[in-house]
């Protein structure tokens, strides 16, 4: 059998076994392997990977989370696959590898090595189903972009501007051309995981969408048993890739007639059973008012589609988990309202979401003579929002410690209208459509030596500004002269240009 000898920390250790020729190798074999360091044992699930060389092949993959020697032993009812033992050595992580992303500080994320992770994702639903050359173009674009997460479907997408046939069917074809949903097409899965690995090397998380409604291949019509077998197979193949996130669905509510809630819970459980790494897992809604119950323990973070971005702090409080708004509408010009907002508006919604203590997702949908729209097919970006989002990401990462806490959590009503957030002793304000010429609310309450910068979120400029006196009439007397206590409660004020879409950063020198 082939065997990995040395594997970098958080890389994929892959092992192969050959077995007997069986009528239904996908269904008739249960294979597990248990990896151990001393008494610590981790079980992974094996999967059938076809018989290219006439040799039926099973594989199992393991993501070592600790350096040193690992021993393993397989278990299977099939003699050739049972009780196979081996060992390998886990070395230091490859450059840039920080391990899988986990929830940190309730509302935020970090890699396994503690490096904070601030998701600034984009959307290319069907990029792995496009011609190879275009997939290479997509990877090149992503590598140069500021995005560190991609939402991508296992299944191809049938939708306007997405009429082309996918590279590979997801399941083996019968002689009549129909697909046998009990027999995954290993060629399709090998290709998909190769692309996931390329993203991993680029330091980009793969937000893998397991189901979606935009289908002409009858994948939506699979039985519950077929669904569960597919989810198990997908998890067995992918869970060793450190950059995988599980997105159970794109717009699950548009599938509720064929997949009711208990089935969705079961899909989450199947993933948990076969994913020893407990990758992040969530599910995405279509209608803003149809939310999955993200409080369920198998949902690691909240994924929403909702344009009311000023509600981000409210949603955060409601769910008590990290919040990623993956569809706050896309930059573009197509005749669908979810795909035609201006770049300025998308950048605006990003700032409001991020300073609301959440995270936002990008998408781009510009009409193209050959229907090459980034949001589904990838390729190259043509919009103006991506560089501004990269600029925002850099600002957040430069001062990132624990993640942003929205100032409205302090109870100041002003921050239901403008945006403000704090990370440790660094404060960000974003005024958006508001254009005050002087401001104080949310600025430090104790005076000191602060670096104060005016940030033009569109021009991407950062300009130092000085302290100014507190704005006029901080004390608002009313109701027969009683003090309402409506004071800025700040040690100093600032002067602003009176233009929209300005932000401010304040930090101790």
Dist CA 254 CA 124 (whole Å): 20
User: Residues 7-46: x/- map of binding to its own copies (CB under 8 A)?
Assistant: ----------------------------------------
329 sits near its own copies (criterion: CB under 8 A)? yes
Contact status: 473 vs its own copies (CB under 8 A): yes
Is residue 406 near its own copies by the rule CB under 8 A?
A: no
Q: Which of 86, 63, 70, 72 is CA-nearest to residue 9?
A: 63
Contact 48, 25 (CB under 8 A): yes
Among 172, 345, 399, 409, binds its own copies (CB under 8 A): 345
Which one among 15, 62, 70, 214 touches its own copies, defined by CB under 8 A? 214
Angle (CA) 62 66 68, round 5°: 95
Asked if residue 447 binds its own copies (CB under 8 A), the reply is no
Should residue 158 be labelled a site residue for its own copies when binding is judged by CB under 8 A?
yes
Q: Considering the complex, state which of residue 201 and residue 437 has its C-beta at the smaller distance from its own copies.
A: 437
Residues 6+ positions from 367 with CB-CB distance below 8 Å: 332, 333, 334, 373
Q: Which two tokens stand for residue 186?
A: 């290993």
Task: Choose the binding region for its own copies from 4-12, 210-218, 239-247, 375-383 (rule: CB under 8 A).
Answer: 210-218
Return the structure tokens found at 207.
């937000």
With respect to its own copies, which residue has the nearer C-beta, 17 or 346? 346
Among 80, 221, 225, 273, binds its own copies (CB under 8 A): 221
> Hey, which residues does 468 pair with through a beta bridge?
493
When binding is defined by CB under 8 A, the residue of 36, 399, 500, 507 that contacts its own copies is 500
Q: Is 215 among the residues that bind its own copies (CB under 8 A)?
A: yes
**394 by DSSP, 3-state: which?**
helix
User: Which one of 112-120, 159-167, 173-181, 317-325 is the stretch in contact with its own copies (CB under 8 A)?
Assistant: 159-167
Binding its own copies by CB under 8 A: which of 41, 269, 394, 417? 417
Of 393, 387, 391, residue with least CA distance to 141: 387
Token pair of 182 as six digits: 């009990």
Number of residues that make up the chain: 509
| Residue 351 main-chain phi, psi, to 5 deg | -60, -45
Rounded to a whole number of angstroms, the minimum distance from the CB of residue 184 to its own copies is: 19
Give the residue among 276, 238, 275, 200 at the shortest CA–CA distance from 14: 238
Nearer to its own copies, 118 or 155 (CB): 155
Kindly tell me which residue out of 28, 80, 333, 459 binds its own copies, with binding defined by CB under 8 A: 333
Evaluated on CA atoms 392, 393, 396, 399, the torsion sign reads negative
Does 471 help bind its own copies (rule: CB under 8 A)? yes
Does residue 204 touch its own copies according to CB under 8 A?
Answer: no
**Please, what is the minimum distance in Å from the beta carbon of residue 152 to its own copies?**
18
Structure tokens at 259: 């997949």
- When binding is defined by CB under 8 A, the residue of 31, 81, 142, 220 that contacts its own copies is 220
Of residues 246 through 265, those in contact with its own copies by CB under 8 A are 258
Q: Residues 160, 228, 256, 454: which binds its own copies (CB under 8 A)?
A: 160
DSSP 48-111: E---TTS--EEEEEE---SSEEEEEEEEESSGGGTT-EEEEEEESPPTT----EEEETTTEEEE
Contact flag: residue 102 with its own copies (CB under 8 A) = no
- Quick one: which of 278, 344, 390, 507 contacts its own copies (CB under 8 A)? 344
390 touches 145 (CB < 8 A): yes
The piece of 114-122, 388-396, 442-450, 496-504 that touches its own copies (CB under 8 A) is: 496-504
Closest CA to 324 of 141, 150, 63: 150
Instruction: Output the smallest distance, CB 433 to its own copies, in A.
Output: 4
Neighbours of 252 (CB within 10 A): 25
Interface with its own copies (CB under 8 A): 158-161, 163, 213-218, 220-221, 258, 307-308, 329, 333-338, 340-342, 344-345, 367, 414, 417-418, 431, 433-441, 471-473, 476-481, 488, 493, 498-500
């Amino acid at each position: 059998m082939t065997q990995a000898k040395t594997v970098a920390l958080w890389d994929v250790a892959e092992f192969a076994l050959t077995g007997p020729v069986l009528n239904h190798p996908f269904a008739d074999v249960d294979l597990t392997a248990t990896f151990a360091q001393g008494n610590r044992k981790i079980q992974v699930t094996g999967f059938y990977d076809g018989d290219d060389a006439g040799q039926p092949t099973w594989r199992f993959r393991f993501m070592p989370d600790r350096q040193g020697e690992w021993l393993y032993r397989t278990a299977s009812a099939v003699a050739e696959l049972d009780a196979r033992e081996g060992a390998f050595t886990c070395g230091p992580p490859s450059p840039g590898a920080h391990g899988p992303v986990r929830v940190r500080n309730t509302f935020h994320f970090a890699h396994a090595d503690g490096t904070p992770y601030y998701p600034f994702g984009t959307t290319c639903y069907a990029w792995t189903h496009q011609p190879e050359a275009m997939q290479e173009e997509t990877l090149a674009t992503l590598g140069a972009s500021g995005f560190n997460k991609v939402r991508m479907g296992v299944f191809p997408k049938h939708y306007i501007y997405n009429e082309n046939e996918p590279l590979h069917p997801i399941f083996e074809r019968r002689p009549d051309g129909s697909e046998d949903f009990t027999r995954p097409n290993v060629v399709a899965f090998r290709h998909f995981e190769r692309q996931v690995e390329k993203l991993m090397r680029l330091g980009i998380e793969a937000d893998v969408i397991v189901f979606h409604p935009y289908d002409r291949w009858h994948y939506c019509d699979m039985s519950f048993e077929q669904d569960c077998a597919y989810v198990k197979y997908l998890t067995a193949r992918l869970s060793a890739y450190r950059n995988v996130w599980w997105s159970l669905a794109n717009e699950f509510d548009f599938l509720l007639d064929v997949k009711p809630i208990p089935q969705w819970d079961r899909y989450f459980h199947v993933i948990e059973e076969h994913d020893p790494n407990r990758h992040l897992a969530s599910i995405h809604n279509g209608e803003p008012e149809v939310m999955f119950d993200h409080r369920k323990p198998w949902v690691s973070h909240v994924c929403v589609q909702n344009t009311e971005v000023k509600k981000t702090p409210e949603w955060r409080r409601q769910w008590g988990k990290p919040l990623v708004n993956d569809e706050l509408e896309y930059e573009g010009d197509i005749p669908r309202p979810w795909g035609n907002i201006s770049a300025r508006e998308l950048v605006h919604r990003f700032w409001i979401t991020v300073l609301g203590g959440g995270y936002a997702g990008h998408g781009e949908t510009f009409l193209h003579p050959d229907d090459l729209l980034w949001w589904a097919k990838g390729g190259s970006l043509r919009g103006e929002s991506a560089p501004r989002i990269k600029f925002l990401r850099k600002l957040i990462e430069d001062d990132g410690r624990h993640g942003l806490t929205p100032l409205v959590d302090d109870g100041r009503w002003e921050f239901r209208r403008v945006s403000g957030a704090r990370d440790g002793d660094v404060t960000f304000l974003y005024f958006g459509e508001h254009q005050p010429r002087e401001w104080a609310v949310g600025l430090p309450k104790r005076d000191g030596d602060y670096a104060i910068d005016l940030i033009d979120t569109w021009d991407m400029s950062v300009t130092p500004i000085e302290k100014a006196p507190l704005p006029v009439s901080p004390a608002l007397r009313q109701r027969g002269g009683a003090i309402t206590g409506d004071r800025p409660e700040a040690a100093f004020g600032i002067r602003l240009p009176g233009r929209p879409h300005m932000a401010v950063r304040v930090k101790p020198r």
